[in-house]
Structure 1
Amino acid sequence: MFMLKSLGKMIWGDPNKSEVVSIPSGQLYLVRPGSLKGLRECIFKDAAACIRRTTTEYHYQLVIQRVYEEGEEEFDENDEEDDLSDEKTFLVDESLQFRTGTRDGCVTFAWRDLSGDKGDLYEFVCDKTSQTGSTQTFELVMYQCMFERKYRRSHENATDADLEQFTYVAPERQEQPATPPRAQAPVASTTPTKTPVTKSPAQPKYEAPPPEPTTAPPARARPEGGEILAEVTAELHLFDAAQGVFMLQDQEVTAVVTEVDQWQYWLSIDGKDKPWLGQPLEAEMNPVFNYEHTSFIWNYYDDESHAYSWLLRFKDIETEEKFQEGVMRALWERLNEVKWTKVKDDERDYVMEAFQEDTDMPDVPEEDEEEEEQYADAQQSDDYDMDEEWDNEVTKMDAAGENSQLAVGYKHDRSFVVRGNKIGVFKHTNDNRLEFATTINKVQNLKGVDFDPSKVMLHEEDSAMLLQNPNDPTKIFRMDLEYGKVVDEWNVGEDKVVKTFGPSSKYAQMTGEKTVLGLGPNSLFRIDPRLSGMKLVESEHMQYATKNDFSAIATTETGFVAVASNKGDIRLFDRVGIRAKCQLPALGEAIIGIDVTADGKWILATCKTYLLLIDATVKDGKYVGELGFKRGFAKDSKPRPRRLQLKPEHIAMFPRNAPLSFTPAKFNAGTDTTETSIITSTGPYVVTWNFKQVKKGQLDKYQIKSYGDEVKADNFKFGSDKNVIVALPHDGDIDGCKASVQEAYEGVVIDAYQKPYQPQPYRQQPLLDRCGTAAVYGGASCNALTGGRPFCISLVRHARCFLFFSGGFQSYIAT
């Protein structure tokens, strides 16, 4: 390398040019050896590195810039706020401990992250097309710049020894002193010198201890069993979070599903030499069957609630179908306490198909690829700091308890957060922030009795808010937001419980519409506050004799109504007051929330551990093209439900105190926009799916961001699919809303956004780098495990966040 000094003037070139030397193509990573279960995090998937002059003599900057692909820059040219996130600069100084190495045949440059934790490094991986001479030149110039900064003079007269002092010597490779430690000679000179170290081009100079591999937990003893529902042989794999792959545990095991008590079932997996697993069959297993790879993936939780992800690979489709039949029967009977054999054939098919990972939606029109890129690359920043966003907030909203409800304005840029019997009001600013406006103190009924609202909904162009008092379920309370007081009580009947309520149509809240829809345990009705006395409209009241246990309601733009129940079924109405036009069978789990697209073509239902997406368009028969709200589905052509769920191997990476439990999922909404995203949350994580990709059957198009605390409520800002408003619990005061209400959702923490495989370096999005310590396994080093497919996995330790990239299902399996 130092032989290139003779070319110094040619290398440094015109002193008036800002750039001294550059590497045009590579990737930037953040390497965090201190992280749990991981090593590297990709910051820029395509980047260029250069050494740049500054206005201060003898001072230089190492600059890493994001490089846009063709078409990307045009899309992002208006995102001025992201400009800084597209470039990282570092003052060239010996404190960077700059070093070189190789990774899978590519030259790497690495240096300390001075603002990070001890041992954190940035690593620039040069593209394989980079010539050896250019990388050596870059390294030489770095040392020359360090020399100039340290000695405040030109590098032109620096000797090889002068530059050699800046080469990094890894602590584990330093030569041991010849004298014993107790008899070390005093330092004779302060002149900086280092013994030259021979470099090995085959290995990087920094090594991190490998994370501990995931090991199988002890198997639980199987209870005394009765009827065997399924018994098959298969391969057994366990997901290793350290390597990001399923590792083969046993080439041949016997998997048995057994009835052990009334409505209680057990899964046991035994090898020839040892028992591997025993667990009850329940919805929390998050089961997924994949026919393409003849596999079954699920979660297992040990006694300390630590999640493991297991995989069975079957020899053929027939074996998988046999096992699936047993698992689905056990889950169904446990949840419904009804024998599987009594279920109608079409309903059994409906349930079975919902648990299959393979999905084909040929009738969905192709979306513009540019729009897909827009979703993948939209509004992501690595410079967003949650605490700094709110440093100027000094407002308080002293109240006991935690934030519980969130209402996002339709007509005006306001958001409302309920905490106890107080409501915080926040204004949406032009720079995508929330600004505290005021507090509505002491929510009270007309008699002056305080209550904590259990549900809130904005009404009449955001001029009013409807409230529900859990201690008075027969009434809805109307608050005038101008005065901040309850001004009206709507009684629907002394014996008519209002379990929940919703707008008369999707965007009724943007109008002066007075009526709302109410939902009782077994009834659907309209509420009109203009009526004297009881406010229930008798002509628009449907009362069921059976115990349906209704739980959630949603409406379309034209007023069609979808009603879900705790039994798991969904009813579709074209108007209120008559029986449903269509009833979709239950999968077994209670539905806690429901939403529909404005046009009524798609229904989104939320269960505890998964979401259901249902195409409500009739596909066969006389009424092809009609909606299920208007025409029922034929017995043999009910729409196939699509389960949206987190991959079991991702759940296995969650911390023990974050069990999977989704909040009601929603589409983004806006009068001038179409639905492109889906949002929900579980524990401290906010999850968004790319709806355009999901409609094509690519159900793993999700991204997750961690907020470090339990997300109580979340929703898109009205008219946007990028800005998300989140309510978190907080610690005693509303500094509360400093960290409890966040807008401008930009950072990607888990990204299962998978593009069709192409033989080129994998693509990654910039990540939030202030969530906590991050580390990544993956990239080209995983090619041996993935058959050349792109793969990357990272874990953010402090924020308990993860990032996953995969070129396909096979990327997760190692043997």
Structure 2
Amino acid sequence: MNILKKFMDSGKKESVLCFLPSGEFDLLRGEQSPKSSLECIHNDAALLIWSRGRLQYDLVVRKAIDEAEAGNDVGDNSDFSDDAISILSVQSKKKEEDSIFHLSPKLNIKKTWSKNGEAALTWNNLAGDEPDEKVQFVLSNEIPLKDMDNFLQVLYSCLFEVLNQKPAKLATDNEIKDIELLVNTMTDDGTEELSNKLQNLFVVDDSAEEDDEDDSNDNFVDAKENAVKSKKAKKPFGREQNIPQGKQLCLIEADLHLFDPIQELFILQEQPINVSLIETGKYQYWLSMEGKEIRLGTNVSPNVNPTLDDNKLGFIFNYTFENITLSYMLKFLSVSEYKSFKMEWTSCLWMFLNREPWEKVSEMERQYIVNAESTNLIKDLDEILGFGDDARRESAEDEDTESSEEEEEEKGHKKRSVLISSESFGETPSSKSSSGNKSLTVSYRNNRSYILRGDKIGVFKTVDDDDDSGLEFVSVIKNVSNADGKKIDPKNPMMYMEDRSIILSDDKNLNRLYKLDIERGKVIEEWGTGDKNVVQYGPSKKYDQLTAEQTVLGISDKALFKIDPRINDENKIVQDQSKEYASRNKFSSVGTTEGGYIAVGSEKGDIRLYDRFGIRAKTSIPSLGQPIRHICTSGDGRWLLATCDSSLLLMDLTVKTGKNAGNIGFLKSFPSTENVKTYILKISPEHASYMVTYTKKPIKFSKAYFNAGVGQVEQTIVTSTGPFAISWSLDKILSGSAKPYTVNRYRSDVVEDNFEYGTDKKIIVALKDDVSLSKIKSFKNPSKMVLMPENNINDFYE
């Protein structure tokens, strides 16, 4: 609609200037109110601004009227289009169906966001029963956000006329913008102050009093800057407030865009604005964005989900206020300006995360860090073809064929979701463990999965039949205790010895591991590790759990060692197959390949690659800033997948140049002129804005895994954050797809998910109080309706 429309029905007392045709009208009560904090008044209403006389306006909420009512009351009114009749031209049979608010600064009207992430307008209910009562108009999802912005521009113009008693056509751009700035920066308890400041911003032009009343019939138009001279200079209010003091590291111009969740497009907000990075303290940095109309700022942190897009010369990030997360994009005007910002942002983020000066980083490491942060995935054709070998291409073709068949099958069969209650663990609703499920481990040798919950281990099996597939409860191992009968808090389960046993740890005894016999349901061995606290452990080779191999790989915060339970001593560490460093490297995670090559990650974010125990690392991969929480490798050692809090690192460990070309980093080091090719996998800021707004929590990934199977090609990744399970396709990652992931949403947070052994088509998902078997084909391309469904969310639950 053309919301900046001409005053209509100028001869009538009530003339509609503009309107928002559809939304929900709510009453908002204060926290101290004994009544409900939110009460819906009309679930379908329109919001209007109308003129009730010369330079006086009302904000009106009108209940929507159905066509039957409209047909009885509509008269001849040619000023409205047919589809606007029921809202704007029909007088309600009941006068109380209109809620009328005289427009003044005391309303303190603001653009906000509802709890469901919908655009809304809130203002004070001055006639309410309680002093802090407000009302809210939540815009319908069918109405573009730009219509609300246009509505607000008319409202600001009306407010100018109310305060200055002269037509808005005489106002300059800055005078209207100053009103907008003041309205949007005033606190709830500052309405009197707002009114005073608005009055003082302008000098009343007495000549306006002589204008004919018919001026109200003119369109709102922008005045020339020199059309009206103010009698005294005015300084824009609040332009410099709240910008942290510090050293300015860069100042660059860029265009600012905002992601519109209705249209699912980035919409230009202002061009250009000044973008600067400011050092506010030791390893503390601030991103400042300031234009004539918009001023934003945020800490430099991975929590804003930053994404650098080389192809668009863009920087996309999340901005959170009032529990709503938005996605903005800075689009730089030239390649040189983009590269300048990219270097400054990356160095600031790295220093914030590592608490070390950028100058300590070598030039090659700097190139690795800066290039890894961007989304430019352009590759040589040979590299793409190298990745898409015959096995992978055949697998992809098989997947496409199977997906098509499954889609056809789904047309005739409705998929049945399978959820297994925590009552399977022997718990009643009243005794349900408050901590819920803790972790998941999947058997390779049979179709069993094991869920840790308190001091219990639940055993489940996958069931496949012609009609459906799912999980069935098998048994529960209760009261997990050590060899002396004392209860332990089991953690970090690892399948062992042909999947007949599980290795466990306990935070109260960090220098000890426990071997639990599954058939007997009890701990039968304890292994000491001397003075070394075990941070993490895993199989000596990736698929050792399928065999009778007894040795286990372990790490402490500064050592890598092999554990052999056959050693006739309390300390089971093999001394001549250990590597201990003098300083604390803060080792945090470990993974192995099918051939026994070892990858060790640290809290510092760096990764070391070894070809065997007891020697120096062949390759050291620099830190990108975030701690490494988990490591998974491909069977052949080409690919390494590291889980960080807000991103996954997919690394191609193949040496591309020099005398070691064709080898992998476990066996040969990279030349000084080559860095490890690293793909940073993130949720796009646009999608993260939906997720963070819904969960009220930052993105934090669970352990990420490749699909697993002896002789199989790794081609899919699975992880989770909050209630969302997420699957990445390696083919899409390497082909440069902008959104190479799909999503599935659940009723509660996903604790951990992993593939069923031998396939990438099914995953087992451990929720807080349930366990589910899901098919990858049920995952959906991310969108607002998938990530924040508003109607029947059960349509998407697994």
1:327 aligned to 329, 345, 369, which one? 345
1:496 partnered with 2:532: yes
Letter of the structure 2 residue corresponding to residue 525 of structure 1: F
Do 1:689 and 1:702's aligned partners in 2 also have CA atoms closer than 8 Å? yes
State the match for 2:145 in structure 1.
Answer: 213
Letter of the structure 2 residue corresponding to residue 518 of structure 1: G
Q: Deviations over 1:679-712 (max 9, x none)?
A: 1100000110011222334363100101121111
State the match for 1:42 in structure 2.
Answer: none
1:711 aligned to 742, 745, 750, which one? 750
Do 1:553 and 1:561's aligned partners in 2 also have CA atoms closer than 8 Å? yes
1:259 partnered with 2:259: no
- Which secondary structure state, in structure 1, belongs to the residue aligned with residue 582 of structure 2? coil
Q: How big is the shift at 1:378?
A: 7.8
State the match for 1:486 in structure 2.
Answer: 523
1:749 partnered with 2:780: yes
Do 2:305 and 2:688's aligned partners in 1 also have CA atoms closer than 8 Å? no
Where does 1:730-769 land on structure 2 (aligned, <5 Å)?
Answer: 730=769, 739-751=770-782
State the match for 1:184 in structure 2.
Answer: none
C-alpha separation between the residues in 2 aligned to 1:623 and 1:598?
A: 20
Cα distance 1:420–1:361, how it changes in 2: closer, same or farther (>3 A)? same
1:666 partnered with 2:705: yes
Do 2:633 and 2:640's aligned partners in 1 also have CA atoms closer than 8 Å? yes
State the match for 2:442 in structure 1.
Answer: 408
Cα distance 1:561–1:659, how it changes in 2: closer, same or farther (>3 A)? same
Q: How big is the shift at 1:749?
A: 3.3
Where does 1:89-108 land on structure 2 (aligned, <5 Å)?
Answer: none
Cα distance 1:361–1:371, how it changes in 2: closer, same or farther (>3 A)? farther
C-alpha separation between the residues in 2 aligned to 1:407 and 1:248?
A: 47
Q: Deviations over 1:483-514 (max 9, x none)?
A: 00000001111x11100100111111001110
C-alpha separation between the residues in 1 aligned to 2:713 and 2:522?
A: 35
C-alpha separation between the residues in 1 aligned to 2:419 and 2:516?
A: 31
1:373 partnered with 2:420: no
1:353 partnered with 2:285: no
C-alpha separation between the residues in 2 aligned to 1:568 and 1:619?
A: 23
- Which secondary structure state, in structure 2, belongs to the residue aligned with residue 532 of structure 1? coil
State the match for 2:426 in structure 1.
Answer: 396
Cα distance 1:596–1:255, how it changes in 2: closer, same or farther (>3 A)? same
Where does 1:145-544 land on structure 2 (aligned, <5 Å)?
Answer: 172-174=66-68, 176=70, 178=72, 210-211=142-143, 213=145, 221-271=241-291, 273-304=292-323, 306-362=324-380, 363-365=383-385, 366=388, 367=393, 370-371=397-398, 373-374=400-401, 396-397=426-427, 400=433, 401-431=435-465, 432-493=469-530, 495-533=531-569, 534-544=571-581
Q: Which runs of 5+ in 1 are unaligned?
A: 1-32, 36-117, 120-169, 181-197, 200-206, 731-738, 753-773, 777-792, 804-815
1:723 aligned to 762, 766, 788, which one? 762
1:684 aligned to 706, 723, 727, which one? 723
Letter of the structure 1 residue corresponding to residue 662 of structure 2: G
Letter of the structure 2 residue corresponding to residue 530 of structure 1: R
Do 1:222 and 1:268's aligned partners in 2 also have CA atoms closer than 8 Å? no
Q: Deviations over 1:326-365 (max 9, x none)?
A: 1112111111111112211011101101111111232132
State the match for 1:167 in structure 2.
Answer: none
- Which secondary structure state, in structure 2, belongs to the residue aligned with residue 255 of structure 1? strand
Cα distance 1:259–1:374, how it changes in 2: closer, same or farther (>3 A)? farther
Q: Which runs of 5+ in 2 are unaligned?
A: 1-21, 25-42, 45-63, 75-81, 84-138, 150-183, 186-238
- Which secondary structure state, in structure 1, belongs to the residue aligned with residue 370 of structure 2? helix
C-alpha separation between the residues in 2 aligned to 1:668 and 1:221?
A: 52
State the match for 2:655 in structure 1.
Answer: 618
In the superposition, the TM-score normalised over structure 1's length comes to: 0.65
- Which secondary structure state, in structure 2, belongs to the residue aligned with residue 652 of structure 1? helix
* Structure with the larger RCO, 1 or 2 (CA within 8 Å, 6+ apart): 1
Letter of the structure 2 residue corresponding to residue 676 of structure 1: Q
Letter of the structure 2 residue corresponding to residue 478 of structure 1: K
C-alpha separation between the residues in 1 aligned to 2:331 and 2:73?
A: 59
C-alpha separation between the residues in 2 aligned to 1:620 and 1:265?
A: 37
In the superposition, the TM-score normalised over structure 2's length comes to: 0.67
C-alpha separation between the residues in 2 aligned to 1:337 and 1:330?
A: 10
Do 1:433 and 1:744's aligned partners in 2 also have CA atoms closer than 8 Å? no
Q: How big is the shift at 1:260?
A: 0.8
C-alpha separation between the residues in 2 aligned to 1:179 and 1:661?
A: 56
Letter of the structure 1 residue corresponding to residue 426 of structure 2: K
Cα distance 1:331–1:456, how it changes in 2: closer, same or farther (>3 A)? same
Q: How big is the shift at 1:287?
A: 1.2
Per residue, is there more helix in 1 or in 2? 2
Cα distance 1:476–1:222, how it changes in 2: closer, same or farther (>3 A)? same
C-alpha separation between the residues in 2 aligned to 1:325 and 1:639?
A: 19
Letter of the structure 2 residue corresponding to residue 342 of structure 1: K
Do 1:223 and 1:260's aligned partners in 2 also have CA atoms closer than 8 Å? no
C-alpha separation between the residues in 2 aligned to 1:742 and 1:220?
A: 54
- Which secondary structure state, in structure 2, belongs to the residue aligned with residue 692 of structure 1? helix
Q: How big is the shift at 1:640?
A: 2.5
Q: How big is the shift at 1:308?
A: 1.1
Letter of the structure 2 residue corresponding to residue 244 of structure 1: E
Q: How big is the shift at 1:394?
A: 6.8
Do 2:690 and 2:788's aligned partners in 1 also have CA atoms closer than 8 Å? no
- Which secondary structure state, in structure 1, belongs to the residue aligned with residue 464 of structure 2? coil
C-alpha separation between the residues in 1 aligned to 2:342 and 2:73?
A: 69
C-alpha separation between the residues in 1 aligned to 2:755 and 2:738?
A: 20
Do 1:212 and 1:242's aligned partners in 2 also have CA atoms closer than 8 Å? yes
State the match for 1:650 in structure 2.
Answer: 687
RMSD (Å) for aligned C-alpha atoms = 3.3
Q: Deviations over 1:720-769 (max 9, x none)?
A: 10111011112xxxxxxxx33434454223348xxxxxxxxxxxxxxxxx
Which sits farther off after the overlay, 558-567 or 289-298?
289-298
Which sits farther off after the overlay, 637-646 or 363-372?
363-372
C-alpha separation between the residues in 1 aligned to 2:515 and 2:422?
A: 33
C-alpha separation between the residues in 2 aligned to 1:542 and 1:258?
A: 42
Letter of the structure 1 residue corresponding to residue 341 of structure 2: F
- Which secondary structure state, in structure 2, belongs to the residue aligned with residue 352 of structure 1? helix
Letter of the structure 2 residue corresponding to residue 348 of structure 1: R
C-alpha separation between the residues in 2 aligned to 1:328 and 1:179?
A: 64
Letter of the structure 1 residue corresponding to residue 351 of structure 2: E
Which sits farther off after the overlay, 742-751 or 714-723?
742-751
Do 2:257 and 2:268's aligned partners in 1 also have CA atoms closer than 8 Å? yes
